[in-house]
Amino acid sequence: MTINYSTFPKSEFKSGEGKAQLSHFDFNFVTPTIQLNSKTKINNIVYYRLSNYQYSSFSNSAQALPQELHEIKYSLLTRHKFNSKWELLLVPRISIRSDFKDNLSSNDLFPAVSSIVMKTSQKNERLKWGFGLNYNNDLGKNSLIPILAFSYVSDKMKFTTYFPNNASLIFLPTKKMEYGFGFTTDPILFHINTIDSIDYLRTLNVAVHPYFSYNLTSNLWLNAKAGWVLRRNFDFYNSDFKTPTDDYENQLKPSAFVQFGLSLRTKQ
């Protein structure tokens, strides 16, 4: 279980008008592993995030811009071993993303599924690599994105990437401390109900950051990130998942961000 709070300081829109400040509160819970049979095991994952925008230096039209956005997501992580060298990661998920200004509908549902085939190196069992596909409704309607996966875990270091989604290099100098670096691509499509002729808000935050984690006591860890958001999109789509005019395609200038939180780790 993990609870985080993130803040993105006030940043100007590249169009020259207005500024936006963003904060996140998120909660992630992973159930204990369930062994279905000798080759297949699953985990249920429940995630919630509240995104809060605050605007300034805008005209009165900014009153209609979405301020509170909610994401509720359920994922089923399935791992199936074909043999000692090959395994399959299958992750279907369903998300509800909305400003909750109206009754929920099918427009608030965003399905996705990732399928990745991983191979363990014959020369080094700590090393795995693989490839797969991700179907989602994050960047737009019915996107299909290839995934390159790589994993290396040792007693003092672990490197994991599911490109283009994320990558992390974590060092483990002691049993109570971890530190490293990470890269995260965070595209989200929300259904909104506050702007005429606009049905969706698409945001994209691409961040790089150092990472630090410390074991406070027992299974409780303190986690912290502080880095830079290289790219920030803030685009409005109509019901056809298109921008009506170029005025609805927006970008915020790059900015810093800070995240801190607590996690309760199991011994699995």
What does the pLDDT look like over 32-60, one tens digit per residue? 999 999 999 999 999 999 999 998 877 66
Q: Read off the pLDDT band of 130 (50, 70, 90).
A: very high
Interval 194-211: pLDDT, tens: 777 889 999 999 999 999
pTM: 0.91
The structural domain count of the chain equals 1
Spatial CB neighbours of 26, under 8 Å, sequence gap ≥ 6: 2, 3, 4, 6, 47, 48, 49, 50
| Encoded tokens for 169 | 């290099």
CB count within 10 Å of CB 67 equals 14
Range of the domain at 170: 2-264
Q: Read off the pLDDT band of 267 (50, 70, 90).
A: low
User: CA torsion angle for 10, 15, 16, 18 (degrees, to 10)?
Assistant: -40
Alpha carbon distances (Å) from 127 to 117, 158, 214: 14, 10, 26
3-state secondary structure of 64: helix
